Amino acid sequence: MSEQVIGQFVKALRGADVAVSTSETLDAVRVAALIGYEHRQSLKQGLAMVLAKSEVDKLAFDECFDAFFRFETRPAGSTSSAPPEPSSLLDKMKQWMPGQQGGGSGAGADSELGQALLNDDAGALNRKVAEALKAAGVENIQVITQKGLYGRRVMQALGSDALDQEIIRLANSEVPADRRLEKQLRDARQQLREQVREQVAGQFLLQAREHGRQLRESTIREVNLRLLSEFRGVHQQIERMARRLARKHGRRQQRARRGRLDGRRTTVTALQHGGVPAALHWRRRRRQKPKLMVICDVSSSVSAAARFLLMFLHAVNDVVPSVRSFVFASRFAEVTTLFDELPPEKAIAEVMDRYAGPGTDYGGMLQQFVDLCDARIDRHTTVIILGDARNNDLPPQQQLLAHIGQRCQQLFWLNPEARGRWGSGDSVMPIYQPYCREAFPCSNLAGLERFVDRLLRDIARDAG
């Protein structure tokens, strides 16, 4: 139960844009098991130490904690007998029950919920509400229209059916004491309903926020690149995707650079320490770093795809080799120095301002690229071309692409158009495709991510 509570709390934190790793979640479970759930402030401070890493995270953490642990509950396995902290729930209900002055024993109420409402025990009632929230599965709420449904489920889990029957029975009684008791229970039930609605609404804000973030990210990943400018947070989404890939492939490259175990040197060193292998030696092979050359069509028809590919590649600069970037539309130019001098987002904006425009000549681009870089292309070079291959009925110069493919290690082509459109109209994609190692349709961020993942995997393999 403790693991489930912390897991749901971590989900709420992630929905509030607090990054929490799996190891941090496990640390939080250990903290909760050590401190317990009875001492709310101590639990809050302990969890904050392992889950909130910055001032912004701390603000979000405080807000989520206060909303998530609003009602005190004691997960299964907790043995502490410390009394729970008081809540305002019972005090608020007393305002509706002027005839009940505390210290009551629930006399006259037959239903379990009725007795809990009349007893002066805020902690017991809080735990009852928390258990009902869990039993109703409120953590699964996703859309605002479900608040009423989950509110009724929580009331039923509390035992509202038996309380309703009791109120009806007391309302039909002629005994004045029963009528007074019926009014107390009815007022208390109404106040409890309001408190449950408030709790369900709070859970909706906590849980649906994470669901909404996932839905937003999924939408951004799948929407056509031409439409991404209409969405907020695209740059942050690309950075998150790039960080995931950088972490994944950074570990691979670290293992690859380490090389294989050198048994002979390790054994010789071990003899100096009584046969104990106190130091391990690894075989290192001197390798030339892979080189990456990217050529992007920045004409109006595919400029969005070029923008996001360049952003993606320069966001994973921790694991990708140095990138030489080229762009073309009506003219061809190298823009590598812009990315060396400016942050990627500003560099891309500058590239689009200078070079984006109508009209493309792929044959002319290939000729200028060969003239400029032919001496630099070797068996350690990967060339990536992004464009729709719509050549405005100009000579395609496919022999130049064949020459590039023969000299480089691998040649990839990313086309923002669907495969069904390759070769239609002025597209010369079927002419270019045989000279590429692979050609990919790439119309959204998900496609770009798959390609960059594949590219980094190849780079890590070649570095091994």
Regarding whether 136 and 64 lie in a shared domain, the answer is: no
pLDDT at 463 over 60: no
Q: Which of 289, 288, 294, 290 is nearest to 383 (CA)?
A: 294
Q: Which residues contact 77 (CB under 8 A, 6 or more apart)?
A: 1, 2
Regarding whether 118 and 64 lie in a shared domain, the answer is: no
The C-alpha atoms of residue 288 and residue 321 are separated, in whole angstroms, by 11
Q: Structural domain tally of the chain?
A: 3
Round the average pLDDT of the chain to a whole number and report it. 80
- The two tokens of residue 37 are 């759930």
Among 77-81, 362-366, 391-395, where is mean pLDDT lowest? 77-81
The C-alpha atoms of residue 93 and residue 199 are separated, in whole angstroms, by 15
The C-alpha atoms of residue 150 and residue 127 are separated, in whole angstroms, by 18
Residue type, 65: F
Regarding whether 372 and 306 lie in a shared domain, the answer is: yes
Regarding whether 402 and 306 lie in a shared domain, the answer is: yes
pLDDT of residue 102: 42
429 Cα distance to chain centroid: 36
User: At which of 172, 194, 217 does a domain end?
Assistant: 217
Hey, what's the torsion of the CAs at 165, 166, 171, 173, to 10 degrees? Answer: 120
- The two tokens of residue 435 are 């000279």
Regarding whether 121 and 38 lie in a shared domain, the answer is: no
Regarding whether 52 and 172 lie in a shared domain, the answer is: no
DSSP letters, 382-409, are EEEEES--B-TT----HHHHHHHHHHSS
pLDDT bracket for residue 210 (50, 70, 90): low
Q: Is residue 222 part of a domain?
A: no
* Host H or E run for residue 171: helix 160-171
Regarding whether 94 and 63 lie in a shared domain, the answer is: no
Residue type, 75: P
The C-alpha atoms of residue 38 and residue 27 are separated, in whole angstroms, by 19
Query: Residue range 155-179: average pLDDT?
Result: 89
Q: Is residue 258 part of a domain?
A: no
User: Which residues span the domain enclosing 186?
Assistant: 89-98+109-217
Regarding whether 210 and 160 lie in a shared domain, the answer is: yes
The residue ranking higher by pLDDT, 268 or 191, is 191
Residues 341-364, buried b or exposed e (16+ Cβ, 10 A)?
A: eeebbebbeebbeebbeeebbbbb
Regarding whether 395 and 299 lie in a shared domain, the answer is: yes
304-330 residue pLDDT tens: 888 888 888 877 766 666 789 999 988
Angle at 440 between CA 436 and CA 441, to 5 degrees: 140
Regarding whether 171 and 94 lie in a shared domain, the answer is: yes
78-104 residue pLDDT tens: 434 333 444 445 454 444 444 444 444
